[in-house]
Chains A and B, each alone.
Chain A
């Protein structure tokens, strides 16, 4: 007879089988058997967080920077509910996470037992799928399936709820066998005629644009390489969503910046005026489209996406191509080479007028701001941070708010998987634990969380995790004492009634850093900024950097509420002329 293993052992055997060597977690009553087994699996290193939300975001940071699924281990009840935010975040941004939660023993389920909650019920809408393991014989199979579901098709979080008695029970273990067909889900589903049609549209277009998103990153590093090849061979301009930054080099001339609510003038105008829009792995999110009725009215739209439900969800498209970005681009490139080898040359002429137009928009220099010699402008801080770190292979995470947009606008990414930010859910407190996860995945790389003082306080406790494992993350706080984006909207839309957006009592971040056992630095003037940043970079321990910036700076350019792409606010002087009125005010 084959050997019997306990449920807890099977959990780790499965993790080993799926090449997991890092888990983020927090012990508790309902997962004690699993924690007890940890010592017997030296290839798996456990990182103890300070709050389960931190475990979830750390797993996200790990997954997004490494391309491997992130694994979190939490206990029942509050352990599970605490990780819900991170699971929802991962669901919105398509990050593969496998969350294992403990549950009260099966005979106690439904009795309102201590630390019991309906974990699978609570997490059903925020996971791709979840399982409550009721029979030890199913455990191994379910965990294998969970990894498949999390990592195939459009990636996302999954959760496995394991009652405590199941963790003790014994059964045999079956190794993972890769299945070819996954219940018809997450498959490529495109054909050559669609690729031909795409190329036909491309060869006819005179005002084309690539609009790329997180799907390119999720498709793997190969997809980014292929995208570069496709973009350079077509000569088309390319813009990217917040999540897609890094898939195409930001310093390339064909890249016209990020698009959307705080995107560049040239990107948004090009999206509005184009005659062919090729969406590669993006989802027509409302921060991108602006007013739907007036979204890119004159264009034919192509949408490449692995998730069929993304097609025609917000914007009706003319040519949907359902498939993995890398594979769709591979076929496209192949077809171009085979059928239209002269494509590149003929095309560049056709679109030269389009580039002239883009150059005009570009000359507006929409990311410009008025610098100051007395106070540190937040944009200047990000620019200096970029200049001083661009020679290193730097990984950036962010929290959510103005600082996030400034980071996206002014930090230039040239490689995929270097930019981790909470886009879909917009989770304040994402960046610090995510940085922990990124640093775990890349121990020798520079990892910086560009943060706001309000966001970072939401998960500040994870500094303690960083110190415990000597993870030298750098928390670069653009401290303006306001919830900056809230303040900005209140200024523009609520007659400067800054209701509850000012934090009247903030900790001394330098002392806080010292309390956590890491290094605190502060910069208050533009002159000292560079030196302090260099000091931060030369510190081999975790650092909290309190960068005191202008308190009332707003993030521009901005598409105001209820406006189409071609009606952007470019800066403080522009806003007087284009006052937001009427219906625009009620929208978020």
Chain B
């Protein structure tokens, strides 16, 4: 959220908030995640989810995907501030509504209950590339990959079917087609 840092400005109108997915390519060195995350917390920006892993082992490049909300001005600042960090190579920014970009998040869901509960849960997950990773007579662990808001809905629905634990990765993003972000 944009809080005016300016000391004697009266807090003005808050502009329209958008959800953006920001992808940052960084040198995978000690403390790099702390730099990126510290920039968000230090300047009062939101982080809704965060996913990070090394993607190029030769060049030691990690790819960080951050879902954030903010006014257009704040999103612009986030990008520019990120680009200033020394280990940052490039920064991409996608709107959540962008049809040319695929956003996916993975979740592991543990359902505890009787067989009918498990069955109900598996059925509900079916639409989201469900994979059953573990099954006992009392429980089932299901892996789903879907949009963040779908997983939100799903986990809400599964509460009644015995969802006891959910582990989520945070969204990752990739552009459609042959195009890559330079």
Q: Mark A residues whose CB is within 8 Å of B.
A: 120-121, 124-125, 128-129, 132, 134, 149, 183-185, 286-287, 289-293, 307-309, 311-314, 316, 561-562, 583-584, 587-588
Interface residues on B, range: 20 to 34
Known pairs A128-B86, A286-B6, A562-B8. 16 more at Cβ < 8 A? A124-B38, A129-B85, A129-B86, A132-B30, A149-B86, A185-B84, A289-B6, A290-B9, A291-B8, A308-B83, A309-B81, A309-B83, A312-B73, A562-B9, A562-B10, A583-B10
Q: Does B177 have its Cβ within 8 Å of any Cβ on chain A?
A: no
In the complex, residue of chain A having the shortest beta-carbon distance to the beta carbon of B12: A293
In the complex, residue of chain A having the shortest beta-carbon distance to the beta carbon of B86: A129
Contact A124 B35 (CB under 8 A): yes
Q: Does B34 have its Cβ within 8 Å of any Cβ on chain A?
A: yes
Given contacts A125-B38, A134-B30, A312-B76, contact A292 B4 (CB under 8 A): yes
In the complex, residue of chain A having the shortest beta-carbon distance to the beta carbon of B80: A309
Contact A286 B84 (CB under 8 A): no
Q: List 21 A-B contacts (CB under 8 A).
A: A121-B31, A124-B31, A129-B86, A132-B31, A149-B86, A185-B83, A291-B8, A291-B9, A292-B12, A293-B9, A293-B10, A293-B12, A307-B84, A308-B84, A309-B83, A311-B80, A313-B77, A314-B6, A561-B8, A587-B10, A588-B7
Give B111 Cβ to nearest chain A Cβ, in Å: 40
Give A507 Cβ to nearest chain B Cβ, in Å: 32
In the complex, residue of chain B having the shortest beta-carbon distance to the beta carbon of A307: B84
Chain A residues within an 8 Å CB radius of B35: 124
Chain A residues within an 8 Å CB radius of B89: 183-184
Give B89 Cβ to nearest chain A Cβ, in Å: 7
Q: Mark B26-39, 1 if CB is under 8 A from A, else 0.
A: 00001100110010
Q: Does B5 have its Cβ within 8 Å of any Cβ on chain A?
A: yes
Contact A121 B34 (CB under 8 A): yes
Specify which of B5, B31, B76, B86 is in contact with A185 (CB 8 Å cutoff).
B86
Q: Could you tell me the distance between the alpha carbons of A314 and B76 in the complex, rounded to whole angstroms?
A: 12
Interchain residue pairs A-B with the least CB separation, the first 4? A286-B6, A309-B80, A587-B8, A129-B86
Chain B residues within an 8 Å CB radius of A316: 73
> In the complex, which residues 51-100 of chain B have their Cβ closer than 8 Å to any Cβ of chain A?
73, 76-77, 80-81, 83-86, 89
In the complex, residue of chain B having the shortest beta-carbon distance to the beta carbon of A286: B6
Given contacts A293-B12, A309-B77, contact A124 B6 (CB under 8 A): no
Chain A residues within an 8 Å CB radius of B86: 128-129, 149, 183, 185
Contact B5 A286 (CB under 8 A): yes
Chain B residues within an 8 Å CB radius of A129: 85-86
Contact A587 B81 (CB under 8 A): no
Chain B residues within an 8 Å CB radius of A120: 31
Chain B residues within an 8 Å CB radius of A289: 6, 9
Chain A residues within an 8 Å CB radius of B85: 129
Chain B residues within an 8 Å CB radius of A185: 83-84, 86
Specify which of B6, B34, B80 is in contact with A308 (CB 8 Å cutoff).
B80
